Structure 1
């Protein structure tokens, strides 16, 4: 198959830690197919998400903008109707831009109503689906702790003989007891058991099948497919044989210290009181959950391999840019925490592997880069791959195209700091701390050596990632590190002042019009 433009396969796993891949140093997990991607491309080992929670992180991935700029700061906070996303940049370049899987995007109903956009119109559907053609959207999780009974995946499961109004929960995310009873995967005590679904009918397998369906349907038009897997996000239920592939001997020791509990930062302490943190602080819980989490990752890896073989069989592998990443990590009991949201490496650092099949990328093939990379770098990268000019969008996009790094260049103006944000207004920690909803904010900045965290209404934190890579010793209160704290706070202040808010006029138009008022008939200041 010959095609002038590269396809783009944008794979995202939900809640996958960067250090739970073989190519990133995990000693026992089996991820040969993801490792093979790293061997074919560039493994960016210091990549950070822009907000360690599903919704705001994904909105940053899709817009190329920080959360403070796009405003969708937490799950179910709508993305403003005027924010441009991947589809807005790639469709004018001739691409079909589609979704298979999860986005966690809440549409801006008020904005659409104000502008008279019908959600069922062709434009309304794109705005409602974060700019993607929804080939198949499956967020899986819903506020009622289940999934939509009419979800296409639920309809698929029923067609395969899985009974009940919600087989997503009763089969794909539950186990079976000794007496035939359904043991819900929402209870982590059950996650050592196999899910009540055949592996070939599991969520990960089904999502991969639907990605293949899209690729076959796309024909010769260049495409960008966002393949967004729900796993290894909870419920931590893996089908056989993956549920029993790993045991306690395969687990990494918990990264935490007694000092973190005895002398905690107030925000850290409040998060340690959350139910998920209390549970993951128990050895029993970690020994049940982590082997299942690892099994889900290996299952995902196997299906990534299946997808790569599918592309190769169709002659598309050598014309498809492949990105493998995740929206954020998972504490799994590290630092006495569960879930994500704060800024330790298990939560805020993400895997980022990019395979560019073009000859200019041969020089970097199979290398690892320790450059500071952010989630927002993907949109400008895709624009450049599609034949556009990301610099034409530099009044909107806040990331940097990775293409120069992929092609072996050494940009002298590459970022010196990476940033991430948290809005924990919806979490119990806010009430525990006595904060108003607009006070529960935190901002992280790292230069690769130092990681500094600014909390609204609370003292900062400082970690030395070189001497203390596990982030167990907070240095912010020590006199010897006050200059470092000031320098990092200054970097954070400068970053906040550089956010791109003049998004309706390009920098090129501003440059062309500078100093031309008289020529344009505005004769002020003339004697």
Structure 2
């Protein structure tokens, strides 16, 4: 099942909650451009990422594989040489794959050196950049401490700011992500007390407009009669922290627009050990404070409003250049943000604000006309996008690539086709071995792993290291406030047993036989006999006559010399 869309614009926002868009029900934050895309496409209400942390989640998006398959389970863990990506698959269909913005990719430098792959070669550059050809990579995390910069790559955005007259070694921090206090000093965005201040930068020079401009530049460069079909991954850093936004967006929302956090005192009682460790970390403690919520949430909303306005600018350019008619557009996020829900900040665990993300897909094809403006409540995983892009480009997934891609194509949903044998549950993984929580709990790195198995009613979490599970009945407890992991009621024990059956089923998936497809396996069956291997034969009558032709006839005259 294919689409007649020529190109794919794959837009990802970092740390964007699904329920902070008006088309997903936010009562105060209006996002008309994302809403308009949803009215012309399909909006998915149950999309889950495969890991609620930036790097691991993104590697799953880009490979179409679970973290335990691709191995890059934390920020900075290299994606090993040999893992195929969206770009690798699309190039077989004649489609190029480009990057604008963030990937959080770390190259397997040792693996490349071992195999003699030069990072200066075309192949080496793609291996080092998650399969993309880089138009403009900027991960947008130019933090700097006593030991230097968090990110060692060159910041194209910092160079842009310097060219615009912003001074210093790190204008990303000093201007784009800081304000100015009453004494004229830098009010760093790292301190959430400054979230209500406007960033000390012209709005048009801030990160989100910059990335939008780079995408417009890309579209113009590719808008030629002889240009090949392309996928462009436009990957915004915002609304990811630091939570600070330029004027006028800094003042668009106030504490009266802050939705009360979804949390209960009962959650602290006999809390799951890992959950408790995250509740009590520095971030969790910060987001318990009313003054943090009253300054950070409005800034977060302002960042999202700016993002929506920039999408409007981008969509207008697509329409003016004719690309809206031949470009599939996807809007999603790599994970969400707790914003004080469940006594937590940031992401990391498996409550809905963290692990569930928005996903909107617009397919310009006539085949998708019947689904425009529809809502899909089926269980979807982020790895489904790689499979969807491959089929949209003309590839055939079944038997030919589904030994590598572990997701399912969404093309039947986009084009109104009946679904057969759709998934009953979704899975997400989290390796927290690098976190203070693992140290505090004295959990060995190999055991500091969490797994979520969820269907439309139940959400289950398994923890390695001998720690009890968690369980939520989302029908009776849609806010996920009552952990049933220690319940002894028969109906809850039965659900936990079912979830462990599903977890074991998922663990038995064939995830490492990636060099031979199902189609190739079928074609290879029996070929060894046609090449002379006829094991188990007694007199030759058990098999086809032609398989024995090389083993029959008069015996050759033998002369043996015995001395």
Q: Distance in 2 between matches of 1:132 and 1:393?
A: 19
- Is the Cα contact below 8 Å between 1:372 and 1:417 reproduced in 2? yes
Q: What displacement does 1:67 show?
A: 0.4
Q: Deviations over 1:77-99 (max 9, x none)?
A: 00011000011011222222110
Match of 2:448 in 1: 440
Bigger drift between 255-264 and 193-202 goes to 255-264
> For 1:351-395, what per-residue CA distance to the aligned partner results, in whole angstroms no more than 9, with x for missing partners?
011001101111111011100000000011001111111221011
Asked if residue 134 in structure 1 is aligned to residue 134 in structure 2, the reply is: yes
Where structure 2 has 5 or more consecutive residues not aligned to the other structure, the ranges are 539-563
Determine the C-alpha separation between the residues in 2 that align with 1:83 and 1:198.
41
Residue of structure 2 equivalent to 1:267: 274
Q: 2:284 matched to which residue of 1?
A: 277
Give the counterpart of 1:458 among 457, 461, 467.
Answer: 467
Q: Which moved more, 1:150-159 or 1:133-142?
A: 150-159
Give the C-alpha shift of residue 262 in structure 1: 2.1
Structure 2 CA distance for aligned equivalents of residues 520 and 15 of structure 1: 56
> Which of 357, 365, 368 is 1:350 aligned to?
357
Aligned length: 525
1:493 is matched with 504
Question: 2:172 matched to which residue of 1?
Answer: 168
Give the alignment of 1:207-222 within 5 angstroms.
207-218=211-222, 219=224, 220-222=227-229
Aligned residue among 497, 502, 514 for 2:525: 514
Q: Which runs of 5+ in 1 are unaligned?
A: none
User: Is residue 254 of structure 2 the alignment partner of residue 247 of structure 1?
Assistant: yes
Q: State which structure, 1 or 2, has the greater radius of gyration over its C-alpha atoms.
A: 2
2:556 is matched with none
> Which of 368, 371, 386 does residue 393 from structure 2 map onto?
386
How high is the TM-score relative to the length of structure 1? 0.98
CA distance in 1, matches of 2:404, 2:56: 17
Aligned pairs (5 A) from 1:50-449: 50-142=50-142, 144=144, 150-218=154-222, 219=224, 220-391=227-398, 392-449=400-457
Q: How far, CA to CA, are the matches of 1:152 and 1:442 in structure 2?
A: 36
When structure 1 is superposed on structure 2, of 435-444 and 254-263 the one drifting more is 254-263
The C-alpha deviation readout for 1:152-209, integer Å capped at 9, x for no partner, is 2111111211111111110000001122211111111101000011110000000000
Secondary structure of 1:165's aligned partner: coil
Shift of 1:121: 1.2
Instruction: State the shift of 1:10 in Å.
Output: 0.2
Deviation track 1:263-288 (CA, whole Å, cap 9, x = no partner) reads 21111011112101110111111111
SS in 1 for 2:453: strand
Give the distance between the partners of 1:140 and 1:359, measured in 2 at CA. 38
Aligned residue in 2 for 1:525 = 536
Asked if the contact 1:381/1:390 (under 8 Å) is kept, the reply is: no
1:379-429 superposed Cα distances (whole Å, 9 cap, x missing partner): 110011111112210111100000011111121211111010000001011
Q: Under a length normalisation based on structure 2, what TM-score does the superposition of the two structures give?
A: 0.91
Local SS of the residue matching 2:379: strand
1:479 aligns with 2:494: no
Asked if 1 retains the 8 angstrom alpha-carbon contact of 2:403 and 2:510, the reply is no
Aligned equivalents of 1:509, 1:150: Cα separation in 2: 43
Moved more, 358-367 or 176-185: 176-185
Contact 2:5 2:365 in 1 (8 A): no
- How far, CA to CA, are the matches of 1:279 and 1:430 in structure 2? 20
Q: CA RMSD in A?
A: 1.3
Greater mean alpha carbon deviation, residues 507-516 or residues 445-454: 507-516
Which is worse superposed, 367-376 or 154-163? 154-163
The runs of 4+ residues in structure 1 deviating greater than 4 Å are 145-150
SS in 2 for 1:393: coil
Secondary structure at the aligned position of 2:375 is classed as strand
* Cα separation, 1, equivalents of 2:120 and 2:166: 31
Structure 1 residue 32 corresponds to structure 2 residue 32: yes
Contact 1:5–1:222 under 8 Å retained in 2: no
Secondary structure, aligned partner of 2:528: coil
SS of the equivalent of 1:390 reads: coil
- What is the CA-CA distance between 1:150 and the residue it aligns to? 4.4
Distance in 2 between the 1:336 and 1:85 partners?
Answer: 36
